[in-house]
Amino acid sequence: MQVNAHLVELPALFKSVVKKVTQEWNCKVQDKLTLSQFRMLYLLHHQGLSKPNELAEKMIVTPGAITGIADKLIERGLVARIRDSEDRRVVHLVITEDGIRLITSMLEKQQATIVALFDRLPEEDIAHLKRIFTVLLESMDSEEE
């Protein structure tokens, strides 16, 4: 089977887009949170008390990475670790009041950053990108099972 030349270019293009988005994020967001830290705060804000392994799955990182991200957010007072009342071996992460205040203000900055990145694309192209990424993720998830 011959590989389409365009398919060979896709991984490099995707990696470049992700790198540029991360650079743009770091330039625009003055709160000195990494994109991963922001994503963890966002998830904790929206889903509440969470186990680290649940966050790792949703963020598509290792449990070890979650520990490192959480440690930095805990140092800043944005996240707290809470032991399960029924099983002390189980640890949950929860966003603090300071974390809620920060994520609320950052969501406004994030929206502006995303709009600036994608405002050159017509709505139709954005809808296509969303559909394509969804199909790819679903396909990859079904292959893992």
Specify the pLDDT at position 145.
64
Residue at 24 is within a domain: yes
Average pLDDT, 10 consecutive residues per value, the chain (145 residues): 75 88 74 85 95 94 95 97 90 96 86 85 94 90 74
Specify the pLDDT at position 28.
72
Q: Residue 31 is part of which domain span?
A: 18-120
Give start and end residues of each alpha helix (H) in the chain: 5-28, 35-47, 52-59, 63-75, 97-118, 123-144
Residue at 58 is within a domain: yes
DSSP 128-140: HHHHHHHHHHHHH
Residue at 48 is within a domain: yes
- CATH number, domain of 112, equals 1.10.10.10
Residue at 57 is within a domain: yes
Residue at 40 is within a domain: yes
Number of domains the chain contains: 1
Phi, then psi, of 87 in degrees rounded to 5:
-140, 100
Using the structure block, give the residue that is written with the tokens 């029924």.
86
Residue at 10 is within a domain: no
Residue at 7 is within a domain: no
Specify the pLDDT at position 1.
46
Specify the pLDDT at position 18.
85
Residue at 144 is within a domain: no
C-alpha to C-alpha distance for 61 and 52, rounded to whole angstroms:
11
